[in-house]
Chains A and B, each alone.
Chain A
């Protein structure tokens, strides 16, 4: 009995030792030289593996960041400038700070604004729906409302509001990884400058139809009237194919276009509600012009909530 035990213990110990020696030499012989900085860089990464940087994951990002001569064009949208600074420190290179970005939904075709013209009872996927037809409203450019963006977001930052059937971005959670931008078959989501104090302006419409057609399909559509283009003092607005676009690098957030837009297709986000001007308004004309602005002040507040 004791002999058997002893024999077993001895055999296994010996076997273990022999294998350890073999493993030791194998590990030496086939050792893969790896830059230790890769591990260091990876340790400061957010670890979301979202692919927002364009690489396969955080490890791949680290490998590429170490390999590259400089950090130009390499950016982790999730970690933002803070992480990039840490990465630069580990690698001993300089990094230029980037303005924070946020995903913006460029469609305001809520159930109220955009009446449904047909009932879609097919598979709940924007991709499938887009392949089948132009959508269940009169607008063939707008949001399909099946939530491919919601499914694509690794951070739970974009959700379909069941009331409006439009996606809403939680700007606290949004990291601007761009997954929703890729997922949207209509291409209505754009990464835009988060803006000073998170204040930003954008045209919440993608409709390229002529004004009348667009307006008929959706009461909040951009009708390409060019009023915003004319009023903008900074040349930030261009109207192409009956659709206005605000260049966020030029926009100075004066909100003149917002006041001018007849369909309220231009959204101003996170601005404080305007104080109601006193009776010393310069002329009756200005008062008349101000009238339609009043309800907009309300929308600004609701948009703040929505966005």
Chain B
């Protein structure tokens, strides 16, 4: 019996066309653009200068605040410059540009493919290593992992949930690593459990990935403390709050954090990078990126070095087809359209999706017919039609009263709206504004 969350959700076609494409290692780019803003929070401060020689895995930027993370070089070569580079949305982000020469790794990184099963480190050592290696949540939000591993005082984690739901259509990077490297993910899970001092972990996987479930179950049988939970295929099953609801039946309070319910959620890919960081001393310098779309001759799952420009990934994937109209970084539900193909990948890039004109067409907006479909679809129990109206009228006080800040921007409302109203576009803007107003208030 598959588990699922209680409220809302939609059922988009999953389009997992790159399911059978094994992960290929992408050649190292000739020039890497490593962004200082690959995590939620303050951008890291570069510690290298123009002309410096760097090796793969060398620390090139340190955190500039509590909510920040280390950044490492993903290539070896000479620093060409440290300057702002436009990201996928055209906004300038401070980056370290490295001209690649050879592929020389730091000596202390274990590059062998042997699986190290024994966890020798203590909890504190694990957290320190995770912080040192710049591990961030690879599910999309890029929340620095070491902060998640240190619950605020007075709060204690009871369960760890590994998110292998991958509910976004098209995306298969987590699926492939669960298929190809299940044991490493499970060891990563055990490392995280040790760091959090919890005795029970769940791995949530949607039931449209039976092979991944089988692969994870075959190894998890060795570890009684890890349980693979089969989840129903429903979007947004992989949303943090939805996943907690589906697996444990607990609901995260409004404005609260998962830790308030005694749960910590980590993505499957994050568990893998934690394994690599702790057992192999390898910082986050590469990640799995799905390149997919119906218009492509062949889809790919690439292991890409951080900082590779999108252009190069697309070129190596067979080029952009002529009928392509839109390229999306991420999935079709929550991903962002790429306006700048020169933009480099960051740690949490999961996919590049290429869509044709027919697939991206926006139907003309008409009037709200008050069918209530958006209310049924909202997994957070909000009233998107109302929030949209209030947002357009700029009524921030009422938006706050209607909990606009709880919106997880999953896009279910927009997906389901028969009048094609761009509900999320307006709600997202208003949410940011309301949160800004709330933060600007003096604290009690």
Task: Write the nearest CB–CB distance from A151 to chain B, whole angstroms.
Answer: 10
Q: Are B90 and A135 in contact (CB under 8 A)?
A: yes
B366 within 8 Å of A (CB atoms): no
B339 touches A136 (CB 8 A): yes
Do B89 and A134 touch across chains, with their CB atoms under 8 A apart? yes
Q: Which residues of A contact B253 (CB under 8 A)?
A: none
Interface of A is mostly: loop
- Flag the segment in A122-130, A224-232, A286-294 that touches B: A122-130
Of B89, B91, B428, B429, most buried by chain A (CB within 10 Å of CB) is B429
Give chain A interface residues in 83-136, CB to chain B under 8 Å: 117-118, 121-123, 125, 127-128, 131-136
Name B219-254 residues within 8 Å CB distance of A: none
Contacts of A59 in B (CB 8 A): none
Q: A133 and B429 in contact (CB under 8 A), knowing A121-B360, A122-B422?
A: no
A121 to B422, CA, bound (A): 12
Name the residue on A nearest B421 (C-beta): A123
State whether the Cβ of A255 lies closer than 8 Å to any Cβ in chain B.
Answer: no
B360 cross-chain contacts in A, Cβ below 8 A: 121
A-contact 0/1 string along B79-98, CB 8 Å cutoff? 00000001001111000000
CB interface residues, A 129-147, toward B, < 8 Å: 131-136, 140
Point out the residues of chain A lying under 8 angstroms from B336, CB to CB: 132-133
B310 within 8 A of A: no
Chain A residue at smallest Cβ distance from B422:
A123
Q: Is the CB of A133 within 8 A of B90?
A: yes
Give the residues in chain B near A140, CB-CB below 8 Å: 90-92
Interface string of A23-44 (1 = CB under 8 A from B): 0000000000000000000000
Within 8 Å by CB of B428, from A117, A118, A131, A134, lies A131
Q: Is the CB of A117 within 8 A of B339?
A: yes
B426, CB-defined interface residue at 8 Å: yes
Q: Do A134 and B426 form a contact, CB below 8 Å, given A121-B360, A140-B90?
A: no
- Distance in angstroms from B175 CB to nearest chain A CB is 28
Please tell me if B370 contacts chain A, counting CB pairs below 8 Å.
no
Nearest-neighbour CB distance to chain A for B359, whole angstroms, equals 12
Q: Are B425 and A125 in contact (CB under 8 A)?
A: yes
- Enumerate A262-298 residues with CB–CB distance to B below 8 Å: none
Q: Report the Cα distance A118→B339, complex, angstroms.
A: 6
Residue tally, chain A, CB below 8 Å to B: 15
Nearest residue (CB) in A for B90 is A134
Give the residues from 319 to 378 in chain B that come closer than 8 angstroms, CB to CB, to chain A: 336-337, 339-340, 360, 362
Q: How far is the CB of B321 from chain A (nearest CB, A)?
A: 17
Could you tell me the distance in whole angstroms from the C-beta of B41 to the nearest C-beta in chain A?
19
**In whole angstroms, how far apart are the Cα atoms of A118 and B338 in the complex?**
9
Q: A118-B339, A121-B360 are in contact. Are A134 and B91 (CB under 8 A)?
A: yes
Nearest-CB distance from A156 to chain B (Å)? 19
B426 and A128 form a contact (CB under 8 A): yes
Q: Cβ of A131: which chain B residues have Cβ within 8 Å of it?
A: 428-429, 432
Nearest to A209 among chain B residues (CB) is B92
Q: Beyond A133-B339, A134-B89, is A121–B362 a contact (Cβ under 8 Å)? A: yes
The 0/1 profile, CB within 8 Å of B marked 1, for residues 141-165 of chain A is 0000000000000000000000000
- Which of chain A's residues have a CB closer than 8 A to the CB of B90? 133-135, 140
Please, which residue of chain B has its CB at the minimum distance from the CB of A127?
A: B429
Cβ–Cβ contact B426 & A123, under 8 A = yes
**Residue in chain A with minimal CB distance to B92:** A140
- Tell me the complex Cα distance, A128–B422, Å: 10
B89 touches A132 (CB 8 A): yes
Docked CA distance A135–B360 (Å): 19
User: Which residues of A have CB within 8 Å of B337?
Assistant: 132-133
In the complex, what distance in Å separates the CA atom of A131 from the CA atom of B337?
12
Q: Please, how many angstroms separate the alpha-carbon atoms of A11 and B90 in the complex?
A: 78
Other-chain contact of B362, A122, A125, A127, A134 (Cβ < 8 Å): A122
Contact B339 A134 (CB under 8 A): yes
B24-82: which residues lie under 8 A (CB-CB) from chain A?
Answer: none
Q: Which residues of A contact B89 (CB under 8 A)?
A: 132-134
Tell me the minimal C-beta distance from B332 to chain A in angstroms: 14
Closest to B89 in A: A133
- 26 A-B pairs within 8 Å (CB atoms) are namely A121-B360, A121-B362, A122-B362, A122-B422, A123-B422, A123-B425, A123-B426, A125-B425, A125-B426, A125-B429, A128-B425, A128-B426, A128-B428, A128-B429, A131-B428, A131-B429, A132-B89, A132-B337, A133-B89, A133-B336, A133-B337, A133-B339, A134-B86, A134-B90, A140-B91, A140-B92
**Chain A residues within 8 Å of B, Cβ to Cβ:** 117-118, 121-123, 125, 127-128, 131-136, 140
Q: A123-B422, A128-B426, A132-B336 are in contact. List 12 more A-B contacts (CB 8 A).
A: A117-B340, A121-B360, A122-B425, A123-B425, A125-B425, A127-B429, A128-B422, A131-B429, A133-B336, A133-B339, A134-B91, A140-B90
What are the 9 A-B residue pairs with the smallest beta carbon separation, nearest first?
Answer: A134-B90, A133-B89, A118-B339, A123-B425, A123-B422, A128-B425, A127-B429, A131-B429, A134-B91
